[in-house]
Amino acid sequence: MNTADNCLSIDEFTVLADAGELNTVICATPDPYGRLVGKRLTIQAFRSLGLAGDGINASSFIFAVDLEMNPLDLPVSNAANGWADIRLVPDLSTLRRVPWEPNAALVICDAFEPGSDTMLAVAPRTILRDQIERARQQGLGFKFASELEFYLAATPPREAWDLGYQNLKMLSDYRSDYQMIQSSRDDWFIERIRNQMPDFGVSIESSKPEWGLGQQEVTLDYCDTLEMADRHVLFKYGVKQLAHAADLTVTFMAKPKIDDVGSSCHLHVSMWDADMDESLCWSSRPAGGMSEKFGAFIAGQLAHAADITLMFAPTINSYKRFQPDQFAGSAIALGNDNRSCAFRLVGHGPSYRVENRIPGGDVNPYYAYSATIAAGLDGIQRQLPIPEIFDGNAWTGENITLVPTSMHDALHRFAECKMLRTGFSDEVFEHLLTSSQHELTAFDSHTVTDWECRRYYERV
């Protein structure tokens, strides 16, 4: 059954394909960085491989490379196993048309072991499926929403590349957070996002200019966990495609410039029964507020936030965003509608939820949602008490723990996190740990930065 807005049934797909309105099917799966990777198939090939066959073959190395596509020699894919193929099997509930490519459809695939009906354990979508199932076995389900921020430059992508992404002409000239004048100026492009994303099966709530120069925020409607992670990745894919076609350069980096505000991805999560019929967040007590189970779920997130920050902040750049007084969720506290806290309670009754303000725009939603569920389930299992509500400025509060502010610290904390190792399995945990260690080594040992040249070139 199709769950996303505007997805295609097989019958609808067949009608469009037979009429010649579709000639390409993009078969893609999210990689470790939340990018879509895969192949473009003809209609005939999709029918024979994706519908009637065993799936689309792809090298397992797509889950074992860095951002430059350098192989990382991980157990899932290395020289010893010949970077063996895996199978990409379409999840037909995600089949949809691509509004900006009228003759193309796109379907998200799950990764399977070759010659087996077992999903590849380290694939991001598998990791999240496993956490959803863990919750289901405890009678629980979750709904998420990603609130993404990004920067737009009025410099064409190829020119931006040639400039090394330095001194780009941003879409706005001055701070315009919530300003409708700037919103009107930007809407020649942002309107394409609001109107075409729903046709792509990604439901949009709202858009607005953000505080940074050229920065935008688009809020996605909440939905079930896996579908929301898919929508998050499809949204970023779509924004990049639309921006490129409009000669704009877009970035979801957490901190593109040290002298401008970072881009967040606030994660909203609510807890439901396994059938997704009843919210379990709001207490039935006359005064309302957090239910005991939802309180324990949030307490688990608070308890493990520092240890799992790597799942919310996956790059070197992520940690440049964690600065006080810039609304990054660096202070681990729970507040009622308090943006200085890493965790913020919003809504009431059926809309009651917690917002995690730690992740940046560079987050992989499959990892972040999985870590959120695992930490929350641990809090429920340990019956942690409802957390205290912090009142005031959490950045200057006493006895407030901060998230790790460097990837070195985050990796160290992550490596020692027994909760996530148990919740994810040794295989998945080691895969994530080793991948991140490679990323840190690439920066520490194989890079000379502009800062180093300016500081040391003539002076040492």
Mean pLDDT of 332-356: 94
pLDDT in the model for residue 98: 98
Mean pLDDT of 153-160: 96
- Give the whole-angstrom CA distance, residue 70 versus residue 67: 7
User: What is the phi/psi pair of residue 20, to 5°?
Assistant: 80, 10
Asked if the model's pLDDT at residue 148 lies above 90, the reply is yes
Query: Tell me: the pLDDT tens digits for 350-367?
Result: 899 999 999 999 999 999
pLDDT in the model for residue 284: 80
Return the DSSP state at 263: P
Residue found under tokens 């490679």? 438
User: What is the phi/psi pair of residue 366, to 5°?
Assistant: -65, -40
* H-run or E-run covering 25: strand 24-30
CA distances from 422 to 62, 404, 418 (A): 25, 22, 6
Query: Tell me: the pLDDT tens digits for 211-252?
Result: 899 999 999 999 999 999 999 999 999 999 999 999 999 999
The band of 327, judged by pLDDT with boundaries at 50, 70 and 90, is: confident
Domain with CATH 3.30.590.10 in the chain: 132-452
CB 119 within 8 A of CB 112: yes
The band of 3, judged by pLDDT with boundaries at 50, 70 and 90, is: very low
The band of 419, judged by pLDDT with boundaries at 50, 70 and 90, is: very high
pLDDT in the model for residue 282: 92
User: What is the phi/psi pair of residue 297, to 5°?
Assistant: -60, -45
pTM of full prediction above 0.85: yes
Domain with CATH 3.10.20.70 in the chain: 10-120
Asked if the model's pLDDT at residue 192 lies above 80, the reply is yes
Query: Tell me: the pLDDT tens digits for 269-312?
Result: 999 999 999 999 998 887 778 999 999 999 999 999 999 999 99
- Measure CA of the first residue to CA of the last residue in the chain; give whole Å: 65
Report the candidate in 304, 359, 366, 352 with the shortest Cα–Cα distance to residue 125: 366
Query: Tell me: the pLDDT tens digits for 63-94?
Result: 999 999 999 989 999 889 888 999 999 999 99
- Give the whole-angstrom CA distance, residue 456 versus residue 452: 6
Provide the mean pLDDT of the chain: 94
Question: Domain 10-120 is in which class?
Answer: alpha beta
- Token pair, residue 401, equals 């723990």
pLDDT in the model for residue 1: 32
Q: Checking DSSP bridges between strand 85-90 and strand 56-59, what pairing results, if any?
A: antiparallel
Burial 92-124 (b: 16+ CB within 10 A, else e): bbbbbbbbeeeebbbbbbbbbeeeeeebbbbbb
CA distances from 65 to 75, 166, 287, 312 (A): 12, 26, 51, 19
For domain 132-452, the CATH superfamily is: Glutamine synthetase/guanido kinase, catalytic domain (3.30.590.10)
The band of 29, judged by pLDDT with boundaries at 50, 70 and 90, is: very high
